Amino acid sequence: MPTWIACKRDGGELDDGALRTIVDGASRGVIPDYQISALLMAIVWRGLSPRELATWLDAMVASGDRLRLDRIPGIKVDKHSTGGVGDKISLCLAPLVAACDVPVPMMSGRSLGHTGGTLDKLESIPGFRTALEPREFERVLAKAGLVLAGQSARLAPADRLLYALRDATATVESIPLIASSILAKKIAEGADALVMDVKVGCGAFLPERGRARALARTIVDLGGRAGLRVIALLTAMDQPIGRAVGNACELREAIEVLRGDGPADTRALTVRLGAEMLVLGGRVPDRRNGATLIEAAIASGAGLERLRKCVALQGGDLRVIDDPSRLPQAPRVKIIRARTSGWLARLDAGLLGRGTTILGAGRLRKEDLVNPGVGIELDRKVGDRVERGDPLATVRFADDARWSAARPLLEPAFVVGPKRVPVHPTSLVLETIS
């Protein structure tokens, strides 16, 4: 192992046998963590060649089980986001795509840093189970047309171990390691195709557009070599998506979209990503036709019905789908108000995400418990006119100490200026990479 670490440290390439031995040894615990950590840091600095990365990905998938979903007809299409603030799109997107007869096996994650996690939002529903064994994962997908679950213990176990080390050793933000981590889970879950939503801006995991583009291109190319058809979209994450930032409140907003309401930007991005998924699933020839089908699934209530079926199969309380007011709400409320009159010129998603995490919507440490009822409801967004004293956001929290800690981040996130900043929901999609 020291020889391989030195090779990568000095800019060399590792052969396929070495890479497979390393991933296998990491997953079985026979290579010490300190040696794996040293190699990960060398990869951060030196990268992996296309051949190395393809072998690394294959070894990660081979470290555990791989679901075979051949018994479920159709092209199975998943969607993954690099993480954003207020990004509840998966919650309304998956049911809508399923309602258009494209199966959606969606293996999601939890909150990461200041970005929210789909599993945490789903677990706002009392009784909803995100930990499914492979047979149950397949059963729910077959009956509902979608499944919303977490990574099981036997799917890509090397990824889980390597990610824990990356998180502890400041080696998370490596494009080859990010790409292989995402794709290992998607391939292992049995997906045939993937729509990748790569966020760009102050609230994104990779804020710089160049880095985000490089990640998108790597995922598209690497997925293609592994037999997974991928299309990637770069989408704006300078202000939160929609008006809700939290767990239960974001689920409420997703239900609103499925009912035909909800903020224009949440709906627009849902329709666009859904259209891309329908194209990859062979359901429609182009995005325009795809968007028409997604809009029809909203109007008819078919998407909402698919969510209801999925929640029932995964043990959740269906009453919250029909009456979202049953979802948790923190008891205390503060209003952030405009200090001057003008136009809301900036709404810093990064500050809002970090502030909401401090309130308890995310985790400062892995062992932290998430409070599903805390969060922020935005009363204004960029481009809106405000008068001095107008409410900018309603903050729900559970204890004063957390509000005191979050307030210095939340209040400066709202910047009022003298001129209106024009905003259109369709401007959320910055680039498409295929």
- The architecture of the domain spanning 2-47 is Up-down Bundle (1.20)
CB of 134 closer than 8 Å to CB of 72: no
- Check whether domain 77-324 has CATH 3.40.1030.10, yes or no: yes
pTM of the model: 0.93
Contacts of 360 (CB under 8 A, 6+ apart): 369, 370, 371, 374, 397, 398, 402
Residue of 58, 87, 120, 159 with catalytic role: 159
* DSSP label at residue 263: -
Phi-psi region of 368 (alpha: psi -120 to 50; beta: other; left: phi over 0): beta
Q: What pLDDT is stored for residue 115 in this prediction?
A: 66
Q: Give catalytic status of residue 159 as yes or no.
A: yes
Concatenated DSSP letters of 164-195: HHHHHTT----HHHHHHHHHHHHHHTT-SEEE
Multiple choice CATH, 328-417, 3.40.309.10, 3.30.9.10, 3.30.2270.10, 3.90.1170.30: 3.90.1170.30
Q: What pLDDT is stored for residue 249 in this prediction?
A: 96
Q: What pLDDT is stored for residue 84 in this prediction?
A: 87
pLDDT tens digits for range 371-421: 999 999 999 999 999 999 999 999 999 999 999 999 999 999 999 999 888
Mean pLDDT of the chain: 93
Q: Give catalytic status of residue 114 as yes or no.
A: no
What value does the mean pLDDT take over residues 296-322? 96
For CA atoms 265, 311, 107, 291, the dihedral sign is: negative
- On the question of pLDDT at 346 being above 80, the answer is yes
- On the question of pLDDT at 364 being above 90, the answer is no
Phi-psi region of 91 (alpha: psi -120 to 50; beta: other; left: phi over 0): alpha
- On the question of pLDDT at 426 being above 80, the answer is no
| Rounded-to-integer distance, Cα 433 and Cα 203, Å | 21
Q: Give catalytic status of residue 181 as yes or no.
A: yes
> Distance from first CA to last CA of the chain, Å, rounded?
37
Domain ranges of the chain: 2-47, 77-324, 328-417
Residue of 185, 199, 267, 402 with catalytic role: 185
Q: What are phi and psi of 76, to 5 degrees?
A: -85, 125
pLDDT tens digits for range 243-260: 999 999 999 999 999 999
Beta bridge partners of 78: 194
Q: What are phi and psi of 375, to 5 degrees?
A: 160, -170
pLDDT tens digits for range 170-222: 888 899 999 999 999 999 999 999 999 999 999 888 899 999 999 999 999 99
Structure tokens given for 253: 């907003």
What letters, b where the CB count within 10 A reaches 16 and e where it falls short, cover 24-35?
Answer: bbbbeeebeeeb
Q: How many CB atoms lie within 10 A of CB 347?
A: 25
Residue of 108, 124, 152, 181 with catalytic role: 181
| Of 199-203, 284-288, 333-337, the least confident | 199-203
Residue of 8, 80, 252, 402 with catalytic role: 80
What value does the mean pLDDT take over residues 149-160? 85
Residue of 79, 166, 267, 396 with catalytic role: 166
Q: What pLDDT is stored for residue 160 in this prediction?
A: 83
Q: What pLDDT is stored for residue 252 in this prediction?
A: 97
| Rounded-to-integer distance, Cα 9 and Cα 42, Å | 5
CB of 147 closer than 8 Å to CB of 132: yes
Structure tokens given for 273: 């990503």
Contacts of 417 (CB under 8 A, 6+ apart): 342, 343, 344, 345, 346
pLDDT tens digits for range 93-145: 999 999 999 999 998 877 666 666 888 999 999 999 999 988 999 999 999 99
